Amino acid sequence: MIDKIKVILAICISTFLLGIGMTYAWYTWQSDSNTNISFKIMSMADVSFATGNDINVDDLAPVLDYKDGKMTSFSINNKKEQTFTGMVNLEITTIDENLRVEDFKYVLLSSNDNNSFTEIANGNFKDQGPQTITIKEIEVNPGITYYQFIIYIDGNMENNINMMNKQFVAKLMVEVKGVSDILDSCADEEWVSGAEGLYKDGNGNCRYIGASPDNWIKFNDDMYRIIGIFDGNTHKKEQENLLKLIYPSAFISSSYGIYNTTNDSGTYSNYSNSFKNDTQASPSNAYVLLNEYFYNKTNTSGTYGDCNNWTYFRNSDGKQVGSCDKMLAYGIKSEYQDYIESNVTWYLYGNADNTIKRQEMYLCERGLNGCTSANGGASSESIIAPIGLMYPSDYSYASGKYSISEDPRLSEKDLGIENWLFTGYEWIITPSSSDAKKVFQITDQGLVDIESAYHSLVLRPVFYLKSDVKIINGSGSYNDPYEVSL
């Protein structure tokens, strides 16, 4: 008769994921109870088992068929449509020396119907001491999968009589890949010129560095890239480390300045460099396009009407009539809005020119180093919104050309070298602090400069994912992007 073993499955977050290719944190469930247990892994899956938690046996004897060994049964109900990865580990706390031999074995079986089981892993405890060993990385398909884990002394081999009735104590842990941050695998060492991967920037954040890091992520049924993981000093969500995403390519160009609906010629307000424009009659083009039309995937707005007719002024070309086609094609679908942290702060402090160094700019963006908001401090210092643009520091830190010990100025053309964020002309969220008509931009040469807000440049949406969003699959490469779940 099969003597079922007690098992533990534990749900907790080991600190975060991602290294150069992004590894994972693990969510484990744990119970101190020996009763029947069913539990939930976030909204992804339910894990159920019937008897006990701790494996604690001292009555082992040889068997000819492993089915007569000591068994633990559990099941995983994957409620998502996609397959995710789990891990079955065994945490050994006590193993008698006489059991540290080749004929003391284990086997892991799986079944789709709880009737016909297939062996998916096996091994032995030769030379194993108290430690955690990996039994099997499992692919959990949609629906219910049943598992049996069995330990036994193989009676088909020559057994040492001293093996019998010796103590074995362990915990079986079933863990599911997930992540709310990736700090644990963020490289501690200082990166050198030519580096590529995820590194700490010295400011409490982790950033992707280099020409082509594995930071692709599938989101909104589209492809995005991860800028990095940022602490509360960047977004004001205290005690939370949030993933920051950016669209990988250009899909809309616009002036940065004030949104206009009926004006037939440029006005001073159109040249304003404040993202929020609280000192003007209406917000900027950049804010409206990203936070009203793109975020809501709509061509209508109660404030600004049909965005098929939104107008802006571009340099000497005069009045331009925009189109909503790209907003509708790339906008955030309603089911993905729940993944985005909408209550985040975007800083609107700026500097007078682009000669400032990278680290100084990071502090400046947050109102340090004597920096002020737009229009000499007359405009807002920050705004709370779901969608923003990248900061100058996001772009400059992404360059693999410079080591962490170097501190290039924003005016360096080489910032675009080995920089995965470089795509050409593009608006950045940060205004000039001294000129009310100018905003920071990335040029086609790769440097960061300041440009008049009426010019038409690329807008690429940037946003943070909520801290409880988990990465459940993928390696981060373009062909195997990360996949997320709530």
On the question of pLDDT at 221 being above 80, the answer is yes
**Domain assignment present for 201:** no
End-of-domain residue from the set 178, 195, 224: 178
On the question of pLDDT at 396 being above 60, the answer is yes
End-of-domain residue from the set 147, 178, 209: 178
Match 């360096």 to its residue by tokens.
412
Q: Indicate if 138 and 279 belong to the same structural domain.
A: no
What digits encode the pLDDT tens for the residues 32-88?
333 344 444 444 567 777 675 678 899 999 999 999 999 988 888 887 666 777 788
pLDDT mean over 121-142: 92
CB burial of residue 227 (10 Å; 0-12, 13-18, 19+): buried
pLDDT mean over 12-36: 33
Q: How far apart are CA 230 and CA 244, in angstroms?
A: 7
- The domain spanning residue 170 has which CATH number? 2.60.120
So what's the pLDDT on residue 279? 55
pLDDT mean over 314-339: 77
**Domain assignment present for 242:** no
Q: Indicate if 389 and 306 belong to the same structural domain.
A: yes
pLDDT mean over 392-412: 95
So what's the pLDDT on residue 378? 77
Q: Indicate if 162 and 276 belong to the same structural domain.
A: no
Q: Indicate if 357 and 457 belong to the same structural domain.
A: yes
On the question of pLDDT at 407 being above 90, the answer is yes
So what's the pLDDT on residue 14? 30
**Domain assignment present for 206:** no
Residue type, 341: E
What digits encode the pLDDT tens for the residues 146-161?
999 999 999 999 999 9
- CA dist 6 → 31, 69, 167, 172, 338 (Å): 11, 14, 14, 8, 38
User: 61-70, 260-269, 277-286: lowest mean pLDDT where?
Assistant: 260-269
**Domain assignment present for 211:** no
Q: pLDDT confidence of 436, banded at 50, 70, 90?
A: confident
So what's the pLDDT on residue 365? 94
- CA dist 32 → 111, 171, 220, 268, 382 (Å): 27, 11, 39, 67, 47
Residue type, 129: G
**Domain assignment present for 238:** no
Q: How far apart are CA 259 and CA 11, in angstroms?
A: 48
Q: Indicate if 171 and 260 belong to the same structural domain.
A: no
Q: pLDDT confidence of 267, banded at 50, 70, 90?
A: very low
Phi/psi of residue 329, each to 5°? -75, -40
Q: Indicate if 168 and 277 belong to the same structural domain.
A: no
What digits encode the pLDDT tens for the residues 202-218?
898 999 999 999 999 99
Q: pLDDT confidence of 236, banded at 50, 70, 90?
A: confident
Q: How far apart are CA 445 and CA 424, in angstroms?
A: 7
So what's the pLDDT on residue 121? 96
Q: Indicate if 18 and 160 belong to the same structural domain.
A: yes
CB atoms inside a 10 Å sphere around CB 2: 12
End-of-domain residue from the set 161, 178, 195: 178
* Structural domains of the chain, count: 2
Q: Indicate if 257 and 168 belong to the same structural domain.
A: no
Q: Indicate if 23 and 155 belong to the same structural domain.
A: yes
On the question of pLDDT at 388 being above 70, the answer is yes
What digits encode the pLDDT tens for the residues 415-435?
999 999 999 999 999 999 888
Total residues found in the chain within this entry? 486
So what's the pLDDT on residue 268? 39
Residue 46 makes CB contacts below 8 A (sequence gap 6+) with 38, 39, 40, 76, 77, 79
Q: pLDDT confidence of 260, banded at 50, 70, 90?
A: low
Here the tokens at position 445 are: 């040469």
So what's the pLDDT on residue 12? 29
Match 């150069």 to its residue by tokens.
20
pLDDT mean over 327-349: 92
Q: Indicate if 171 and 294 belong to the same structural domain.
A: no
Q: Indicate if 257 and 347 belong to the same structural domain.
A: yes
Residue 207 makes CB contacts below 8 A (sequence gap 6+) with 198, 199, 201, 227, 228, 394, 397, 398
Q: Indicate if 292 and 412 belong to the same structural domain.
A: yes
**Domain assignment present for 195:** no
- How high is the mean pLDDT of the chain? 81
So what's the pLDDT on residue 33? 35
**Domain assignment present for 272:** yes
Q: pLDDT confidence of 129, banded at 50, 70, 90?
A: very high
User: 240-244, 449-453, 472-476: lowest mean pLDDT where?
Assistant: 472-476
Longest Cα–Cα distance of the chain, Å, equals 97
CB 265 within 8 A of CB 340: no
**Domain assignment present for 478:** no
Q: What is the side-by-side strand order in the sheet with 426-431?
A: 253-254, 457-458, 426-431, 438-442, 448-452
More confident residue, 143 or 310: 143
More confident residue, 324 or 179: 324
On the question of pLDDT at 301 being above 80, the answer is no
- What pairs with residue 168 in β-bridges? 57, 95
Domain that holds residue 161: 3-178
